[in-house]
Amino acid sequence: MRRHRRWPGALVAVLVLGAGVAVGGPGAAARTPWVPGPGLRWQFQLQGKVRTGLCVVPSSGGHCVTPQVYDIDLYAPDGTTLDSAAVAAIHATGAHAVCYVDAGTWEDWRPDASAYPTSVLGRSDGWPGERWVDIRATAVLLPILAARVAKCAEAGFDAVDFDNVDGYTNDTGFPLTAAQQLTFDTDLAQLAHARGLSVGLKNDLGQLGQLQSVFDFAIDEQCAAYAECGAYAGWTAAHKAVVEIEYHRAPARFCPAADGAGRDAVLKSTALRATPWKPCR
C-alpha cells in the first residue's frame, strides 16, 4: 500500500550489488518465468475469498471484460493455508496469478511473524499490526523472504509482487539510504528469479531507472493522484508492463492518460476486495 514519502537529497547513480545470500538450493525452479507484457487487465484482491467470475464493462465502454492477471495474497483468508486453490481457479480461466508478499514491513498476523527479531522492527507504517523493518539486516530478512517466495512457487503462482520496497523514503525509525534500498530490492528480485517467478517493482519511483533492468514489470499506486506517472516513461518505452492502481479518482480522470501512455490502469478501493474493479480498457 502506498505510503507518504520523503525524497532523498540525491539519487544514487549506481546499482549496488546484492548481499550475496544464496537464493537457489533444493527445490529452486528451473522454469522460464512468465513475464506480463503491457495491455493486460489486472485485478488486485487482498481480502476475502478470491473471486474469478467478475465481468464488468471497462471505462472505455463496450462488452464486459474479465481480469487477465490476479494479484492476490500468498495465503487464503484463514491466514495460514497457501491459496493454491485460488491459483488453480485463476489458471483455469486462462489468467495468471501474482503472489503478494510484504517485504518491507512486518505484519503481526503472518504465520512467520515470530521469525522477526525485535531488533529489526521499526516504527508503525500507519496500518494496524504493521511495522517497518530494517532492510540493512539482510542476513535476517532474506531467509524469511526466501521461504515466502518458495511458498509462492509451491502454490503455483507465476510472479511475485513485493510490497513496501521504498522504506528509505519513509519514517521507518532506521537511517536507511537509497543505496541500501537498492541492495535490498535487487536481492528480492533475485529471490523471485531463482524460483522461476517474474517480479514486479512496487512504487519506489526514485529508483525506477536503476531497477528497470532488474525487475520485470512495475506496479504503481496513485501516480495520477500524485502527478508522477511520467516517471514510468522509460519502462513503457522499453515495452515493460506498468500497472497503475488508482483509489480515489473517477476513471475519466486517469484512464485517457494511462491508455495513451501505455499503462494498464484500474480503479480499486483501498480495502482491495474483489469489487469495486473497473479497468480502463
pLDDT digits (tens, 9 = 90+) for 217-227: 999 999 999 99
Give the Cα separation of 15 and 51 in Å (integer). Answer: 39
Q: What is the dihedral of CA 21, 25, 29, 32, to 10 degrees?
A: 50
Closest CA to 227 of 210, 244, 252: 244
Q: Is the pLDDT of residue 8 over 70?
A: no
Give the Cα separation of 141 and 131 in Å (integer). Answer: 14
Closest CA to 123 of 171, 162, 177: 171
Kindly report the number of other CB atoms within 10 A of residue 57's CB atom.
Answer: 12
Q: Is the dihedral of CA 144, 146, 152, 154 positive or negative?
A: negative
The pTM of the full predicted model, rounded to 2 decimals, is 0.90
Is the peptide bond prior to 276 cis by the omega test (within 30 degrees of 0)?
A: yes
Q: What is the pLDDT of residue 22?
A: 41
Q: What is the largest CA-CA distance in the chain?
A: 54
Q: At a CB cut-off of 8 Å and minimum separation 6, what does 64 contact?
A: 55, 56, 57
Confidence bin at 1 (pLDDT 50/70/90):
low
pLDDT digits (tens, 9 = 90+) for 135-190: 999 999 999 999 999 999 999 999 999 999 999 999 999 999 999 999 999 999 99
pLDDT digits (tens, 9 = 90+) for 22-50: 444 434 545 789 999 999 999 999 999 99
**Residue ranges of domains in the chain:** 43-279
Provide the pairing of β-strand 264-267 with 278-279. Answer: antiparallel
Confidence bin at 118 (pLDDT 50/70/90):
very high
Give the Cα separation of 269 and 165 in Å (integer). Answer: 21
- Find how far residue 210's CA is from the centre of its chain: 17
| Mean pLDDT, the chain, integer | 91
Closest CA to 122 of 76, 164, 162, 62: 164
Q: What is the pLDDT of residue 30?
A: 59
The residue type found at 121 is: L
Give the Cα separation of 190 and 185 in Å (integer). Answer: 9
Which CATH architecture is the domain 43-279 placed in? Alpha-Beta Barrel (3.20)
Read off the C-alpha cell for 107: 505484519
